[in-house]
Structure 1
Amino acid sequence: MIKKRLTKAEKADRAEFAEREERTREMLKRMSDSAIALRSRDREFHGLEREFRYHQEDMLRDFNRSKDIHHPRDVGLAREQILRKFLVDTGLIPDRYAATSSSVRVASTTGHMSNELDLLFYDLNESISLMRRENAYSVLPVESTYGVIQVKSKVTRNDIREGLRNVASYKKLRRASSSEWTIYELCSKVVYGRVTTGLNEVAYCCYKGFPTQRAT
């Protein structure tokens, strides 16, 4: 792949943006330091602000270490794990909410599927895997998911478009109500999606806790 050479104007814009970003970072750091200094030193817990500062420092160290990786896909996977560790392993969100750690897609009872998603939040207690291949790929039902994050190391127009397309493919999936969740056995196989058998269009869904019944 041939890299496009930047024009002088583009280089100047990038340099100016980096300078503004650094000034903003320093300003926020000074404000945070000042707020922490005003708090009583007698307390062990100084609020989430200081905790987030610690997590930020850890993430920046991990991010800088990931720069040693050269393959773009490996870099992306490493940085997805950095964000996942911050969101899940720090205990900042309840244990019932989990984030995927492998390639994942989401399916609806209409048979539609999302594009590949970076980080998907789902219900750890109630979700099932509709499809799983080792620990590298899985498909989850949309009804047990909560949201998605696309991770990008570099923000280009193409990266933004791709990320938005993937998020949109998830957002447009139709969620079935609890009364529409059904389990059927067809040719000794449990099928998730929607099929047509004769004159009846039947919805199939794998989910525990709902009675087996035929939709008409």
Structure 2
Amino acid sequence: GHILRAMAHQAVDLGHPRHALALADASLEQRRYTRATPRERALLGVVHARSLAAAGRKPEALAALLRAENDLADATTTGEDPGRVWFFGEASLAHETACTLRDLGDLQAAEREFRRSVRTRRTQEFTRTHAVTLGYLGALQARQGALEAACTTWTRALETMDGVQSGRARDTVIHMRRMLTPFRGRGISAVTDLDTRAREVLARVG
């Protein structure tokens, strides 16, 4: 089920909601799901939620998020989980939940979940993902008109990217600069400073 889950996640990111949902549905085929540990079920379930959101099926997506939250709450740390899901904890669930809520249009709830992910992430182990989460959080703040807060969050994201070589991190910076475009040339020092720093980061991020 995890190969299908990974393919579904990629299909969501590439903008293919119908294909993503078909893959996510297949990853939850009854025997795969019932034999999985709670942590595995939470991971499979939250990707299913993202696929449902991408397909515009809001009630089902919200129900899938609730199931994933409950499954993770039932997870233990006794070593029963397979190695492929060791990374998946509260911070990861919050990140994927935030992406789901963002795609459903609930920006305030998405912001709360991104903040939860930032707060609970083990940053030294997951530096790249932490930087990406901060980038997404800044984008949400900017979309809601909180430009100053967005610049502060994006600055944290750029600081976190120090030493990181990552395509996802690079894409996050490119998106950040794109969102700053309407504010360039307005004499906003926070925007000017951030844009300069973002250019420098792009020059070194892989």
With normalisation by structure 1, the TM-score equals 0.29
With normalisation by structure 2, the TM-score equals 0.30
Higher helix share: 2
Larger radius of gyration: 1
